[in-house]
């Protein structure tokens, strides 16, 4: 995935964590609208212009389960997956796990303008942790687990997230799903090894390609779905 070229781009927030820098930039697109862009370690992670696949990550999962009352989201980012989860009135509790405390702060204090309203939803709980730790320590089951913590196994921002796409971790995800619960994993690239690992762990899994437009350039992002 390549960063969209900025027409005009201004840095509005920056922080250093033990994993590197987290930067929020505002650029103005061709129509004069403001677009927020999140970069981690110099790598484009997402923006607020093309969010269809982040929203589909939630929408596809919500469609597969009759009563998705509890949802675990890995990676808050700019909150589009969480927003789609909370738009579903069947959801009673959504736990979102985000490793970068500063990003949570930017969502809470309005640095990301839509953040405060989103996190004010009483059904949402933000946990500042590594998803690997959160899954290992989970004491209850979820109807849905939605993972979007990196750009996918072929394009990692953090090398340590490699494990998120591998059998051992996917097995733990299966174990925190209730019967019939669904896991969906987002990836910027087709990930045949991830699909194979999901099929090993769950018995069956589906790959979906979703068309996206990055600065008028057509691309595909991928979702991987599996049911317990
Ligand atoms: C692509 S963004 C998520 C986008 C989100 N789906 C949305 O709709 O805005 C990935 C997020 O995962 C976070 N992250 C990266 N590694 C993580 C980990 N191991 N555990 C939890 N969060 C992580 C990043 O800091 C970033 O906020």
- Our answer on whether the CB atom of 131 is closer than 6 Å to any ligand 1 atom is yes
The percent of residues in the chain predicted with pLDDT above 70, rounded, is 97
What six digits make up the tokens of 65? 């389960």
**Of 15-19, 66-70, 83-87, 178-182, the least confident:** 15-19
- Our answer on whether the CB atom of 37 is closer than 6 Å to any ligand 1 atom is no
- Helix, strand, coil percentages (3-state) for the chain, rounded to 5, are 30, 35, 35
Q: Find the mean pLDDT for residues 124-151.
A: 97
Mean pLDDT of the chain: 94
For residues 175 and 33, give the distance between their C-alpha atoms in angstroms, rounded to a whole number.
43
Which one of 148, 150, 175, 211 is the catalytic residue? 148
Cα of 149 vs centre of ligand 1, distance in Å, is 4
Tell which one of 45, 85, 147, 149 to mutate to probe ligand 1, the residue whose CB is within 8 A of the most ligand atoms. 149
Cα of 32 vs centre of ligand 1, distance in Å, is 28
């Amino acid at each position: 995935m390549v960063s969209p070229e900025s027409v005009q781009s201004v840095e509005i927030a920056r922080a250093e964590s033990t994993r590197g820098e987290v930067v929020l930039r505002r650029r103005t697109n061709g129509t004069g609208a403001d677009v927020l862009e999140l970069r981690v370690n110099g790598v484009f992670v997402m923006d607020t212009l093309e969010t269809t696949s982040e929203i589909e990550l939630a929408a596809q999962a919500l469609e597969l389960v009759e009563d998705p009352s509890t949802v675990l989201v890995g990676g808050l980012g700019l909150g589009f997956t969480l927003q789609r989860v909370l738009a579903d009135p069947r959801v009673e509790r959504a736990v979102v796990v985000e490793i970068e405390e500063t990003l949570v702060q930017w969502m809470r204090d309005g640095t990301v303008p839509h953040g405060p309203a989103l996190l004010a939803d009483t059904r949402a709980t933000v946990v500042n942790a590594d998803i690997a730790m959160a899954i290992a320590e989970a004491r209850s089951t979820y109807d849905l687990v939605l993972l979007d913590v990196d750009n996918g196994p072929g394009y990692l921002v953090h090398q340590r997230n490699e494990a998120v796409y591998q059998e051992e971790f996917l097995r733990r995800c299966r174990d925190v799903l209730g019967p019939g619960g669904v896991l969906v994993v987002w990836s910027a690239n087709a990930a045949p090894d991830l699909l194979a690992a999901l099929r090993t762990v769950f018995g069956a899994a589906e790959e979906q390609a979703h068309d996206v437009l990055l600065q008028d350039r057509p691309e595909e992002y991928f979702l991987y779905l599996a049911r317990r």
